[in-house]
Amino acid sequence: DVKVTQSSRYLVKRTGEKVFLECVQDMDHENMFWYRQDPGLGLRLIYFSYDVKMKEKGDIPEGYSVSREKKERFSLILESASTNQTSMYLCASSLDGASGGQGQYFGPGTRLTVT
């Protein structure tokens, strides 16, 4: 089975801090994604990557950046955390397209609180 792991389940940071969220997948998937999940808004795509060192903006990239130095690892960076970035962050990976007909595999999520 595909396994997607995220570095932390819960994280509390202060306003202005630089925050790193790490995601690792073990199935050699080409594509990786970062979403945030907020009540009533569903999942919103922040960034995705279809290859090492490649990245594309999603629907809400402002305030975030990403890094993909190795195929299995995709990092989300909050350059200067703000309270409106308090959310659940979900990492996902897929073998084809942005899912094609196969679907995405998700990590357990990181609940980030910015105070």
Q: Is 107 in the site for other proteins (CB under 8 A)?
A: yes
Question: How far is CA 56 from each of CA 76, 101, 112, rounded to the nearest angstrom?
Answer: 13, 21, 23
Q: Is 12 in the site for other proteins (CB under 8 A)?
A: no
Q: Is 1 in the site for other proteins (CB under 8 A)?
A: no
Q: How far apart are the first and last CA of the chain?
A: 37
Residue 15 Cβ vs other proteins, minimum distance, rounded to whole Å: 26
Q: Which is nearer to other proteins, 15 or 38 (CB)?
A: 38
Could you say which of 26, 28, 51, 56 contacts other proteins (CB under 8 A)?
A: 56
Size of the site for other proteins (CB under 8 A): 25
CA distance 4 to 60: 22
Q: In which residue are the tokens 């945030």 written?
A: 36
Q: Are 67 and 78 contacting, i.e. CB atoms less than 8 angstroms apart?
A: no
Using a 10 angstrom Cβ sphere, with 0-12 exposed, 13-18 middle and 19 or more buried, the burial of residue 71 is: middle
Could you say which of 76, 81, 92, 114 contacts other proteins (CB under 8 A)?
A: 92
Could you say which of 20, 97, 113, 115 contacts other proteins (CB under 8 A)?
A: 97
Contacts with other proteins by CB under 8 A lie at 4, 33, 40-43, 45, 50, 56, 90, 92, 96-109
